[in-house]
Structure 1
Amino acid sequence: MREFLARFGSLIVRPYRTDRFDFGAPTFHQELQARFREASELRETTGSPHFVFLNKVLVGIFNLMGQLGPVIDTRRSRALLEGTVTAL
């Protein structure tokens, strides 16, 4: 379970680890689908409705972004998450 959460968490934050992220990259989409399938098979995660909801929302958003295929500049978003930008 811990290994799954580490892999899933790493995948979710991947867009914020670079200055630009290509949501249309097939490898990202394939890995996302694999993690989603893995999550649905883990009995331990199905007990938490919060995890299930968040997982479905994130996968849905990332799937939509994958279909649109944008390359996103994530520097400003990363700065907001790190708290270095105080106002929009």
Structure 2
Amino acid sequence: MSVKLRLTRAGSKKKPFYRIVAADSRMPRDGRFIEIVGRYNPRNEPSLIELNKDKALKWLSQGAQPTNTVEKLLNITGIREEFENSKSK
């Protein structure tokens, strides 16, 4: 089973917000997921990015692959850099 960190769309029509989830790569975008890792709301000014650092680091250390968008969010929050530093030790 290949696990990905990706976005799941929520919210009403024309007013989306997203959950950052760990999900099996074979599941559909808004389908079954394993765990919620955080939230992302691009409609706020500035955009709201809430990530549970412990959960994100746990999934990254277990080999979960983030999608391009989640990779950018991890870079913005500094979690990706922290993971790379802990991996090199």
TM beyond 0.5: no
| TM-score normalised according to structure 2 size | 0.29
Q: Which structure has the highest helix share of the two?
A: 1
Question: Which of the pair has more CA radius of gyration?
Answer: 1
Q: Which structure has the highest strand share of the two?
A: 2
| TM-score normalised according to structure 1 size | 0.30
Q: Which has the higher contact order (CA 8 A, sep 6+)?
A: 1
